[in-house]
Amino acid sequence: MTRRAVVTGASSGIGEATARLLRSRGWDVVGVARRADRLEALEAETGVVAHAADLTDADDIAGLETWLGETGGVDALVHIAGGARGSDRIEDGDAEDWRWMFEANVLSGQRLVASLLPLLRRAADASGHADLLFVTSTAAQVAYPGGGGYNAAKAGEAMLVRALRQELNGEPLRVIEIAPGMVRTEEFTLNRLGGDQDAADKLYEGVESPLVAGDVADVIVYALDAPGHVNLDLVTLRPVAQSAQHLLARGPLTTR
């Protein structure tokens, strides 16, 4: 039976890569993001069904729930949308940036769970299991200077995931957390740094083989395609050059 996944953040980066890979593996995929034009281009190329929505808007999430219920339900929620704004010290931070990060990374997840859980339960009853997968970050695990707002938002999302897994104990629902470290995508760092391309490029300067969106998509799809009784509670992945959140090698990787 063909399974259907909702992939948020599907207009770029990890979300787009995941939507593409799921389609190539035979899934039906609904791509959700704000930018309808990019979703429509993805739909024309891959068959991912475009559904434009702002996940910080409760009405848009309610509309997504209604549309999914009318068009076949959903077997997997793959919540990748989110993001970071700013890299200021806490004392210099912009409260509106912090508010946006909490809404985009935490409240969007809570609203999606509240709206889509009945559909996911229905799918689990029909097929044996359903999935809720969240892409958090190693920023949820270790704080760093200039990351306070993003650390707080991603830690909040990670706690949502871990509490949800316990609340759903006894149901055939897998709750999966994927926490990437350094990933070079077209927009994440650029958006975080206010569009400063030079500053974004400098972050990755000299780093051999940072992760790319497809690397994270591979892990996401592996988790979803694993046997239904196997739950990958938490997968942390980093490039080899990043041994820890604060320990990043710049230059060629060589043996001693």
- Residues with a known catalytic role: 150
Distance CA 50, CA 48 (A): 6
- The torsion of the CA quartet 227, 235, 163, 246, rounded to 10 degrees, works out to 180
What's the sign of the alpha-carbon dihedral 230, 235, 241, 244? Answer: negative
